[in-house]
Amino acid sequence: MPRTEFPDATYTSTWSNGRGEVRFFTRSDGSRLRYYTVGTGPALVLMHTVRGQLDYFQRVIPQLWDHYTVYALDLPGMGWSDIVPGAQYEEPQLRAAVVEFVRGLDLHDVTLSGESLGGALSLQASIDLKDRVRRVVAFNSYDYPQGGERGNWIARVIMSSVRMPVLGPVFAPLEPRPIIRAILQGGYVDKTRLPEDFLTELLRSGRRTGYDKVSRGIFRSLKGFDRARERYPRVSAPVTLVYSENDWSRPAERDRVANALTDVHRITLPHTGHFSALERPDDMARILLEAASD
């Protein structure tokens, strides 16, 4: 697909109040990751959820930019990062992108944080970046079987279909607004907290040529994050492990992650679903600010 010279900032500008800058980071293979950076202070790298983009943190970042230098990232192929034909979206490839981003910008004393897929990536990437990472704050880490399929029956049908060898290519391009809204609402206790304008933006970025292959690749890669959990004992940075009370993960799965980590502080957010950055942004910001003061 044609490459634009400048990263898309159309939606980001609606919530960033003129602060910060949207940029591209060019990887060694020539592909580009879109990111938003703002603020002063120690580096904080934010990684979004499955079927998300950096604007997922729109309610959190304004509470952090006076305390951190924030780097919010569009993961490979997602949001407005480049779509590379034939690219793989397994855990090692996504982790490698995060590692290259941090090293490429020469960031040190970094706090890695993310939600869902981004939470799992923050834990995994910290192993490869141990000389650069100060702390990990992982929210609702997506490292267990089924994941989003537990949200509701619509999510179960669509996500399982997208992964199937024959039906997957048929289902992946289909993103009618009511269906995507229903799938995402399966991750909220208060379903009114899903911003309609953010949903519009997800559908806009999802109309890019080749995005259906990205979406299918991501959904098919999620089992790899379950297997990659075996690496967690190698995490050396202190970890704040945050789960929402109504997250899709089960108590035993949360315990399994915590027990694999050496230095871990656990927090539970009451009456909250999987997407805490949008449902409980004040709590996410508070937890990240407390991490900055540790």
What is the rounded (10 degree) CA torsion for 11, 17, 19, 25? -10
Instruction: Quote the pLDDT of residue 62.
Output: 98
Hey, which of 94-108, 151-165, 168-182 has the most confident mean pLDDT?
Answer: 94-108
Taking only the tens place, the pLDDT of each residue in 184-203 is 898 999 999 999 999 999 99
Q: With 90 as the cut, is the pLDDT of residue 257 above it?
A: yes
Q: What's the predicted TM-score (pTM) here? A: 0.92
Is the model more confident about 135 or about 148?
135
| pLDDT over 70, % of the chain | 89
Give the mean pLDDT of 166-172: 47
* Predicted confidence (pLDDT) at residue 167 exceeds the cutoff of 50: no
Q: Of the ranges 18-22, 29-33, 159-163, 183-187, which one carries the lowest mean pLDDT score?
A: 159-163
Give the three-state DSSP class for 47.
Answer: strand
Compute the 3-state secondary structure of the chain and give helix, strand, coil in percent, each to the nearest 5. 45, 15, 40
| DSSP characters over 247-288 | -SS-HHHHHHHHHH-SSEEEEEETT--S-HHHHSHHHHHHHH
Q: CB of 43 within 8 A of CB of 263?
A: no
Checking if the pLDDT of 28 tops 70, the result is yes
pLDDT in tens, 59-69: 999 999 999 99
Give the C-alpha separation, 12 to 200, whole Å: 13
